Structure 1
Amino acid sequence: MPKLTSRAHPVHFLFLFFLPFFLNHAESQQLQAQEQQILSRLRHYWENLPTLSHWASPNSSSSHCSWPEITCTDGSVTGLVLANKGVSGTVPSFICELGNLTTLDLSYNNIPGGFPTVLYSCSKLEHLDISQNYFVGSVPSDIDRMANLQYLSLAANNFSFDIPPAIGRLSQLKDLYLYQNQFNGTYPDEIASLSNLEALGMAYNRKFRPSTFPVKFITGLKKLTYLWMADMNLVGQIPETISNMEALQFLDLSMNPLSGKIPSGIFTLKNLSEIYLFANNLTGEIPQRIESLELSVIDLSENNLTGKIPDGFGKLDKLQSLVLIYNQLSGEIPESLGRLPALTDVRLFSNNFSGTLPPDFGRYSPLEGFEVNSNQFTGPLPENLCLAGKLTGVAAYDNDLTGELPESLGKCDSLRIVTVSNNRLSGKIPEGLWTSLNLSTVKLDNNDFSGELPDRISWNLSRIEINNNRFSGNIPAAINAWKSLVVFEASNNLLSGPIPVGLTDHPLLTTLSLGQNNLSGNLPETIVSWKSLTMLNLSHNKLSGPIPEKIGSLPVLRQIDLSDNQLSGHIPSQLGLLLLTFLNLSSNRLTGKIPDELENSAYSSSFLSNTGLCASNPTAVQLKACNGGSRGSKEVSSNTLIFIVLAIASASLTVIIIGAYIPKIYQNRKPDSNYTWKLTPFHRLEFTESNILSGLIEQNLVGSGGSGKVYQVPIHQSGGFVAVKRIFNTRKLDYKLEKEFLAEVHILGKIRHLNIVKLLCCISSENSKLLVYEYMENRSLDQWLHLKKRQSNSNDVLLDWPKRLKIAIGAAQGLCYMHHDCSPPIIHRDVKSSNVLLDSEFNAKIADFGLARILIKPGEVDTMSAVAGTFGYIAPEYAHTTRINAKIDVYSFGVILLELATGREPNDGTEDMSLAEWAWRHMQEGNPIWDALDKEIREPCYLDEMSCVFRLGIICTGTFPSARPSMKEVLQVLQKCLSRLDIRVQKNTRDEVSATPLLRNSKREQALLDEDSSLLCRTY
């Protein structure tokens, strides 16, 4: 038999070769199954979050590594990112059964309880972010057990007590964020031992015990590039040794009570790109040595700095924003600043700068904002401010500038605002300036400008103030084409001729001031169109003829000055029906008896030098008596007798009352005069402390609420009013009211915006605090929209749709500024129609910041211990979790949009639904939008724009904050609505087409007119 030999088959070798791969694959499959099961348990533990509905069950064939929240390495979970998923339960211990987990992000959720120490079992964890939740209590003293951490964020929670020294033993840390908590103890020096730390954020822990700047940080944190310690109650001085932090790129020490000088070496940090030292008590000069050539932002505003701007600033080729406002800086501006190539934002106002402005501003850089007002500048404005075509605003008022306005401003379509009042500028206005597409405000008062007024102006131009100049010629007959006009002030010029009939065709006009000109002829009878007019000044002209009777039908007219003219005839009886706060008809040729309603001492100087006028009560108004003959004598005798009897009886009763109660009055009285008052101004004031205090009487009370009373106080020097909000307590001002007072002062005293109510000053004493605001003649939007429904006898006219849309845009501009342009951003927290105030021109302004909070960064949230706000306006996530970010303001503003479109009140749904819920239900049921719109103003020509605003209101009030647009996006949609409306109105007005280049030249605007209205909201 042949011998058998052993020989392995080739298949056996292949099997042996691939066996490890088969085993690894099997292990991998098993590991993935285990991980998928853990993730399924996690979702179930958090009550099957709808935001994680795409997570498949363990039996699913889909791999969990494909889920967007999961990061896998070699088929195993290493990263779990569950930010903003609506998690409201605690962190389970089994999460660490994901044995390879290195990254865990649970930020922007609603997780309660103490620090999740169960995560100590995640032995490989390197990145932990639990910011923006509801964690409370102390940070564990053994947190250093998480030894591998490189990134740790505990920001925006409610952690309190001390920051433990154990933090300083996390030796691998590169990023540490502890900002915006409730820490009320101290922070440890041990943080300085984190030698690898690159970013440290501890800002907005204002409850820290006062402490000096941590010098040890400077010596220990050599790799630190990001240092954020704003609003931390730091005291003392910034140490000179800060210049040793050579890696530093970002430095924010703003809003602390730091004092002393800015360290001389701070601008020698060669990597520094952004520096924020605003709102401290810093003094002295800005350091002259500049080596930080990477700087893009310098904000040293709101200190007490003196001296000049360093010449070295002119070497900062990357500088984009220079903000030095509200200091005491002086001297000339270095010419080299005008040649910086990246400069977009220049804010130097409210200092003592002098000399001429560098002529190259705007020549080499894309300048967007140029604010140099309230200084002592001389010479001309720079010629090339808008050379790059991006300039949006010029504010140069309250200086001593001369020369003409730059011609380049006439070619600047991006321009929105030009305010150069109170200078010595002269010459004609560049023709193109008047027709600049986006221009809304022009203030040229108190200069020496000349020339004639234009026939055509920008479709958007709503405010023209040219008082005290030398403009001449007739008011253009085509002034009816100035459709957006809200304020027109041109007093003390050389204007002549009649008042054109076209001027009365302005239903949005609220202020008309043409006094001290050479106007002649009769007043137009068509003034009935002035339904929004609150102030009319035509004094010191040569007007003749009668006062039109229809002037008495203007529903909101409050101030009339027709003095020093040649008006004749009777004063219309309808004039007495107006609720006038000021009336002057002196020095005319009026005759007859004045209306009975005007016979009181409030109008004592209103009728002087009209020899033909008389009154039944002549002593009250300084006129002769209309009564005469024996009949008059009998009446006087009888009336005198009655008066004497009543006077004796009244005097006797007064003596009895005083005798009985005067001891109690003196026993309980605590007059304000017993206290020392402190006045803190934020603007130039035309009144004194005593003017305000004397006006706090019951007759001037116009409202009251939970935080105090509001008074309308007359200011005698200017003839106007201010609004005074008084927070008062006979014992000690309670903590809540004190907090609201400080919040309003802190925010409103610093921000400046056309659509935010102006805080003029605050006045405080031991037992009372006063906030003095600009007076808003047309009260609140709430009263205009809803008061007529609540009071059937209300005489207020309805707001038409164009005015409502303009109010919506104004309010949106104010909120957009707060959210996107303030640093840090501001969240209002109580946006509602009663906090949207309307001035004499129906400009909308956001008011009542008693509940506002300043956030840290755009997109970050804050948590509050209690919900504040008003029913119907409160976002659902805020009502349930007391969690705030910018989207709660967007929700509230969406409710206002629904109010404007429907006319309903915020709680005016059906059954138990709010307006927002009612609107959502209306759309879900497929009902026509037309049925939801306000029946009292809806017209077919407004349907597209009203429908768009209604849809936008629904989008803004969406349940999920992430689905709501930002205020910047909301504003863009509203502006498109306004553009569309203006184009349609202009198109339908045949005689205006030739005067409107927008229609003749712009295909883009015509396309906007033709597109379907839904496109305006399609983005959302």
Structure 2
Amino acid sequence: MEIFIVLLFLVFLWAEIHLISSLTNPQDVAALRSLKDIWKNTPPSWDRSDDPCEAPWEGVTCSKSRVTSLGLSTMGLKGKLSGDIGELTELRSLDLSFNKGLMGSISLELGKLSQLNTLILAGCSFSGNIPDTLGNLTELSFLALNSNNFTGKIPPSLGKLSKLYWLDLADNQLTGPIPVSTSTTPGLDLLLKAKHFHFNKNQLSGSIPSKLFSSDMALIHILFDGNDLSGSIPSTIGLVNTVEVLRLDRNFLTGEVPSNLNNLIRINELNLAHNNLSGPLPDLTSLVSLNYVDLSNNSFDPSEVPIWFSTLQSLTTLVMEFGSLEGPLPSELFSIPQIQQVKLRNNAVNKTLDMGDSICPQLQLVDLQDNQISRVTVGSQYNNTLMSEVQRIGFALSNQTYKPPHDFGPYYFIASPYAFPNSHRGASFSRGIIIGIATGSICLILCLIGLGVYAILQKKRAEKAIGISRPFASWAPSGKDSGGAPQLKGARWFSYDELKKGTNNFSGSNELGFGGYGKVYKGVLRDGKIVAIKRAQQGSMQGGLEFKNEIELLSRVHHKNLVGLVGFCFEQGEQMLVYEFITNGSLRETLSGRSDIQLDWKRRLRIALGSARGLAYLHELANPPIIHRDVKSTNILLDENLTAKVADFGLSKLVSDSEKGHVSTQVKGTLGYLDPEYYMTQQLTEKSDVYSFGVVMLELITSKQPIEKGKYIVREVRTLSNNREEEYYGLNELMDPVVRNTANPIGFGRFLELTMQCVEESAANRPTMSEVVKALETILHNDGLNTNSTSTSSSANDFGVSKGAAMRHPYIDTTFTKNDNNAFDYSGGYTLATKVEPK
């Protein structure tokens, strides 16, 4: 009995020690284990460890022992969302989207997650009412409950969410009116910060509240289509001139379309189809960005097709079916520069249709069935690619269902003379000759295929034999390379087994990060040196010769402000680069407060100078010159002395003598840092790195990411800058408090001016990186600072305070209209990629 008591005591003691040593907060551990017991198909990693943060559970992100993010989109989860979720009180992002097996009502305990800023439950099977407790999530900026089975009314408590940016309740079974505030009850009209209203595909009724629209709002998407809304379109809708998409189709709206709809100068999609709208057809002349318009199936007053449609230079699709249009069609309609589709079937368009001489070459579809057109003419100088389309239009017009009165008609399609190319008739062949030619061709093809298969098999045997005898023979195809080792300067070859051992078999505990290329691990070499190992994943590996050229190049790049290449591994189907290990992580981590390092203004000046020197070396002293192409704060690392080192040359582009000036190349980079001129022209220059570096300089001032909640840092600084404000030029609200609280920050005026020169829209107006280096050195020299000391030197003796320094305000000339891609982590039905790579 005594032995049993001792064993029991030891078990309890072991459990207590294990709990104390756990890296995860016990409350969070208990909540996640409870959810694991309720849900089916949780990731396998949830069964391999008892500590979600120590050996990370897939989809779980931790910070300082607390779970801050739960991202389990498209995992095939099944079960319910229980009240245990409310115990994860430090959760900032919750994404369970597109797990059809998650069902039932969602827990009221969600309202306890006071830190939550992203809630995505899209594409599941949740039902019941949307809880009122969601109104307690005052930090929420992104709420997506679309594509579920929610019923009942939209809770007015959502009106409390003053920071909400995106509200998506589409594709549910919600009923009742759109709530607005009263004297005692808050409503959705308090959502003045929201930019996206997605209420489409529900059963909402009542009228569209005019209070939802005011000049204070910055709405981008208004999606109310597919409901049971009635009444007229509020005239206040014209006050929100930021709208880009307006869908009110498939409702029961009546009355006239407000004339001030013409104020929506940024709109690119307008859909009012399938309602009961009446009155005159609205004049949309000023909507120069409009590319899609559908006004079908309404009761507009009979009128001719207005010629002002042809003034919409961006228009690609015009749909006005089942209406009362009459009169001739203006020929200008078919010469709009971007027009692709014109659908006007089931109207009363009559007389002759003259499509003119300058038909848009992109025109794909003209649907005029069930009208009263008697004749179609097409000019002789039209694009020959329209031949088949003209024939199709002729067939459609000649087979109309419209039957004219006996004394008028029938109507026929009569084509003017067309300049179709003459068809060429070849010599006729007998059936026997044709069969003989076909048989011979088939035999020849089969022989060629057999020879090709034999050659491939022989080549694989030869490559296997060479691989055994010469380990470097696979650098390039046979005949193009001698099979010798690459010529390196200061870097060496590592075996796969050595790097595998140094990273503990590439364990997750040694993982430093990951990107499109692959994962980066912390490793220890045989001599005890700590390195960072960048391991390519299967889909991103280069060819052997390209990889050899890259490491030969990187081994020649040596500068104290560039991360150095230690060596490489090219063995057993692996491609790995071994870099020096930088102890203090990235500049982005430090500015965001995720490290214990605080950067005062003096240290930030030195970091800017060091980074600029590294980039200037790449542009002017490397042979051949190198354009980095992905300059950003996450690619600027800080060593133990806080010396800045530029890293990650995965997107870098070499500039040969024949390409000096610019390089025409596919657009690559990170949104927010991407040079707009490079994006528009695909002409890459060293000035593209200058623009990205200017954005990093703005981060040093504000500590904000380039894009936060729809706001672009360049635009915000230009908007708020004020040269009359002597100390901080009107940037008090944007500046990092550490900088703002610094008395007389050294050279701040000149630093801000230099920054805004770097982010000029035109590359010709930006300085070179060497000019940026000289300007930063001048700032430091003029204030008595040592430009060669490390960034950790920040004493008052080292940094003098400038007296009487000229302070000039940078001019503001550009705006930014891109949507926010970094304000939240979303893995569901919307693609918010940060890499820009057009095909």
TM-score (norm 1): 0.41
